[in-house]
Amino acid sequence: MQTRAIGTRQVGAIGLGGMPMSIEGRPDERRSIATIHGALDAGVTLIDTADAYHLYAGEVGHNESLIARALASWGGDASTVLVATKGGHLRPGDGTWTRDGSPAHLRSACEASLKRLGVDAIGLYQFHRPDPLVPYAESIGAIKELYDEGKIRIAGISNANPDQIRTAQQILGERLVSVQNQFSPAFRSSEPELDLCTELGLAFLPWSPLGGIGSAAGLGTSHARFQQVADELGVSPQRVCLAWMLAKSPVVIPIPGASRPETIIDSARAADLELSAEQFARLDAAAG
């Protein structure tokens, strides 16, 4: 698989989003492990997760623990895999999402994630979502401390606007390597952040790149030109979507979610799908 940079590290250009394996509608553990192994066997070396990817109140870190178990039982070299987790978001267990960007919470969340992942330092630790009750610089300052103490190897931010990206870069310097924002054919309002990441050389990780768990299967219907190009190339519209994103900028690394091996294996092949300049222009104009 084609690789891309996150800081000084190279990863497969398509990552795996872990969320569908831990929230509403999640599959059983056996299928989840098969999905993660299928992704790794297909050349995926970036797995995105979060402590908040769980369903019930008492199982914080469900997805992190699942990934740790899948890596332990995989036949390949797990040291080649970058596990990217996040802190600062919480799920009380009633289907809602809450936030806590306080330094005290981020510290305890990071320490708990470290234990669940069973590593000395977290590969990539991302501040999940700005907390309106905590100054952004304070939350980012906490991430810097975690880095300086050796608890995380590199840092990222998520759901950040251009001002927040610049603030985070001022505080974190080279420790900051990635920005993870929502981006898909249906959600293009984060193009300014994507452009800023290209300018600053930060990896840009589109979340819900296929439109989200409930909409991904219908991408070819909701965005007919993606289906049209898919028919021209004899591939799925989801694969075309991911190839379109990759072609937008060399800093893009999509993290499509999956709960079945078939879907992530199909998505992984987007890393090697070439669109013609005309096809790219058609998709880029049509999306939105």
Ligand X SMILES: NC(=O)c1ccc[n+]([C@@H]2O[C@H](COP(=O)([O-])OP(=O)(O)OC[C@H]3O[C@@H](n4cnc5c(N)ncnc54)[C@H](OP(=O)(O)O)[C@@H]3O)[C@@H](O)[C@H]2O)c1
Residues lying near ligand X in the complex (CB under 6 A) are found at 17-20, 48, 128-129, 158-159, 180, 207-213, 216-217, 236, 238-239, 255-260, 263, 266-267
Q: Identify which of residues 106 and 255 has a Cβ nearer to ligand X in the complex.
A: 255
CB of 9 to ligand X, least distance (A): 18
CB of 242 to ligand X, least distance (A): 8
Q: Identify which of residues 42 and 142 has a Cβ nearer to ligand X in the complex.
A: 42
Measured CA to CA, the distance from residue 245 to residue 265 in angstroms comes to 17
CB of 213 to ligand X, least distance (A): 4
Residue with tokens 């708990």: 112
Measured CA to CA, the distance from residue 151 to residue 148 in angstroms comes to 8
User: Which amino acid is present at 19?
Assistant: M
**Tokens standing for residue 134:** 């905590």
Residue 78 Rama label (left phi>0; alpha psi -120 to 50; beta): alpha
Let me know if 125 is a catalytic residue: no
Please tell me which residue in 53, 125, 136, 147 is annotated as part of the active site.
53
Measured CA to CA, the distance from residue 77 to residue 174 in angstroms comes to 27
**Which regions of 81-136 does DSSP assign to beta strands (E)?**
82-87, 89-90, 98-99, 124-127
Residue with tokens 């249906």: 186
Q: Identify which of residues 120 and 249 has a Cβ nearer to ligand X in the complex.
A: 249
User: Which amino acid is present at 58?
Assistant: G
**CB 117: neighbour CB atoms within 10 A?**
20
CB of 212 to ligand X, least distance (A): 5
Q: Identify which of residues 258 and 271 has a Cβ nearer to ligand X in the complex.
A: 258
Active site residues: 53
